[in-house]
Structure 1
Amino acid sequence: MIRFFDILSLGLEWGYVFVFFRMLQTFLPLRRSMAMRVLAFFANSLLAVVIIYSNDLANLLGALLGFVAYVAVFHRGSWAERLTAVLVFYPALIAVNYLMMDMGSRLFFGVTDASGKEIALWTKEEQLASTAIHVATMLLRLLFWLGAWHFLRKYLRRIASGLTAKMWMVVDILMLSPFVAIFTIIYFMPEDPVIVYPICGASIFSSFGCIYLAAYICNSVQTAYRAQELEMKQSYYRDRTGDEERVRGIYHDLKNHLLVLQAQAGNRQEVDASIQGLQSQIHAYENYYHTGNEILDIIIRDKAKKARESQIDFSAAIALEDGAFIEPLDISTIFGNALDNAIEASQCLPQEERLITVKAGRIRDILVMSVENNALPETIDPERTTKEDAFAHGFGIPNIRKAVERYGGQCSVRAEEGRFVLKIMIPMP
């Protein structure tokens, strides 16, 4: 019977390791190498089953350092994302492991007379009871993480795809409380479990509550973005309708303009003035870009308008019909940030040097996008904002890179002879 319980315990332990591994992988993606993924699973198994005792500073610190090293070596993401993974999962892992071990130990010594005995002196009944209680605690731990995985899975995915750099910072700050609480209560452990158990439970609840809160923030941001997107579309189509009505009016009057030009045939200056007047009326209605992506049409038109207002020479050659698999929010992140950066850099230049060129299209099985602009040499730093408020800004390129990497793509930036070039390559799915 004891051997059967040992085998069952081993199966439950590996099941728990797998569930915890999947949760962490959902929150923070693993490196793409298959060898690294296999190594990550076995390294995770050492962390997931860590044994925590009361006043056990060595294991608390060892588990923390091991967790940090594990996330740094095997997972992808920014430093803020990796820090969040440690702050979210470490308190819950430590609290659950401690609670299961402490409750199992208290239950065992409460139902047997093994207190004060060495393990070698335990009777068969006591050994059987110890093994059965251990299996029960392993089952409870597995059921707990299965329940957590079932409840949090959709929130973990939402966070992984939707948080910006500033949001990661907010989550990290919120997670400091359960992190400090669980570390402190176990290290300075009072003897009364009535005090310890509620704090462990509160740490677990806080860790998972922060996941829900972060997912709620993501939902709010996406809802606000969809509302903004709808407003942009309404404004875009309202402008187009008005422009088309005005163009029809110009077309209606065109025969009269031709008669005027014919009457002015002998006066070169008057003819030139009339032609320029016609061109100025039509010019405003020629700036609609057809990129193959409705959202991108709106973004390009808006940025082109801002460029003209700043007297920037703006040109775009975009064919993105094959980019339908890219989410609208990511299209906005990539092109919106890139063009905002280009416009701001161009505004620092003399008028004759202001130039922005946007290109995008499919080359075989790769979507290639590029944004080029002239810039002052001292302002060309892709990883650092030139604005005074560095906390509120400076996330353009990192957010572009994150959006591109979501589709397995690459983002590169380079500066050459006073010119800034952002190039993006995304493989077709």
Structure 2
Amino acid sequence: MLFMVLVVIFAVIGLDVCIKSSYAYGIDFATFVTLRVVHALVCAFVLFAEYQMLYKTRLKTEMAESEQLLHDERRQYHLSKETIESINVKCHDIRHQIRHMADGLGTVVVDPLIFDDIAREVRVYDSTVSTGNDALDVILSEKSLMCERRGISLSCMADGSSVAFMQPTDIYSLFGNALENAIEAVSAVPNSEKRRISLVLRADMGMVSLHVENYFVGKLEFVDGLPKSSKGDDFNHGFGVRSMERTAQRYGGTLVASARDNLFLLDVVMPLPESTGAK
């Protein structure tokens, strides 16, 4: 920016002063017009250079934000995986302890419904999702627990083997961002019957498709085909959707978002690798 300030001072302002001084000292009109044209071209070049610098600066900032987001998602994936595994182990132990307690009560009178209630509560955290893909199981298990706590119904039909060609962190990023956005939107829906999220993942005709739909309240605006951030800061927010789009593009796919009748629809389509599709 300091370089551009110097260019503006010397190449724009300085050249303008020189042209005016030369005209005052008696240069012919044709030369004056030529110098003015050159000055205009210099001004246009300086403006273009400033635009390019600002554009590249913004791109670098977005890339840095995206890299940080990917780094955080990788770390979160490993933490979530360890957490889910730890919860499953603990719940398995607790379930067996409840069974032994119920069997060993002897003559002590305890309502069996109490143990049923405890077991039911434990099963909420012991509902490991099994899709055939470890990374997908982690993110779906994590978001299922989140939906359970918020009173949201999550319907999931997923063939985890269809995304076996993707990196685990990319799976976590794609599905995690999609479900986080859906959970955030559905959490604001007052009608309990509409507090639900549907996710369908399948492979067909050499393509793998992901479809997510959920209800939302208010008005949803789209910019360049993507939903505009509802947090009031489009520059610092909205990286989740852009990250999803870039993930899809990285595998040669596309992301399409739409809305109708307060129902948000998200579709991601990616081609299956030839080796995977042949299987």
TM-score range, shorter chain: 0.5 to 0.7
Aligned pairs for 1:81-100 (under 5 A) are 87=56
Q: How far apart, CA to CA, are the structure 1 residues paired with 2:221 and 2:183?
A: 13
Tell me if the contact between 2:221 and 2:227 (Cα under 8 Å) persists in the aligned partners.
no
Identity rate, percent: 24
Once superposed, what is the RMSD of the aligned Cα atoms?
3.8
Q: Does 1:171 align with 2:60?
A: yes
1:24 maps to none
Give the residue type in structure 2 aligned to 1:393.
H
* Higher strand proportion (structure 1 or 2): 2
Q: Does 1:421 align with 2:269?
A: no
**Residue number among 293, 310, 315 corresponding to 2:150 in the alignment:** 310
C-alpha distance 338-280 of structure 1, shift in aligned 2 (>3 A): same
- Unpaired stretches in structure 2, ≥5 consecutive residues: 1-37, 274-279
Counterpart secondary structure, 2:75: helix
Shift of 1:401: 1.5
* Higher helix proportion (structure 1 or 2): 1
Aligned pairs for 1:13-412 (under 5 A) are 87=56, 169=58, 171=60, 224-253=72-101, 255=103, 273=113, 277=117, 280-352=120-192, 353-379=194-220, 381=222, 382-412=226-256
Shift of 1:428: 0.4
C-alpha distance 240-279 of structure 1, shift in aligned 2 (>3 A): closer
Give the residue type in structure 2 aligned to 1:277.
D
- Unpaired stretches in structure 1, ≥5 consecutive residues: 1-54, 66-82, 88-167, 174-213, 265-269
Q: How far apart, CA to CA, are the structure 2 residues paired with 1:338 and 1:354?
A: 16
Shift of 1:245: 1.0
Shift of 1:170: 5.4
Shift of 1:290: 1.1
If the length of structure 2 is used for normalisation, what is the TM-score? Answer: 0.67
How far does the alpha carbon of each residue in 1:143-185 deviate from its partner, in whole angstroms, 9 at most, with x for none?
Answer: xxxxxxxxxxxxxxxxxxxxxxxxx725279xxxxxxxxxxxx
How far does the alpha carbon of each residue in 1:249-289 deviate from its partner, in whole angstroms, 9 at most, with x for none?
Answer: 234346569x99xx99xxxxx78x45852652453244211
Shift of 1:384: 0.5
Question: Number of residue pairs matched?
Answer: 229
Counterpart secondary structure, 2:88: helix
Q: How far apart, CA to CA, are the structure 1 residues paired with 2:44 and 2:221?
A: 42
Counterpart secondary structure, 1:391: coil
Give the residue type in structure 1 aligned to 2:171.
I
Q: How far apart, CA to CA, are the structure 2 residues paired with 1:217 and 1:385?
A: 16
Shift of 1:60: 11
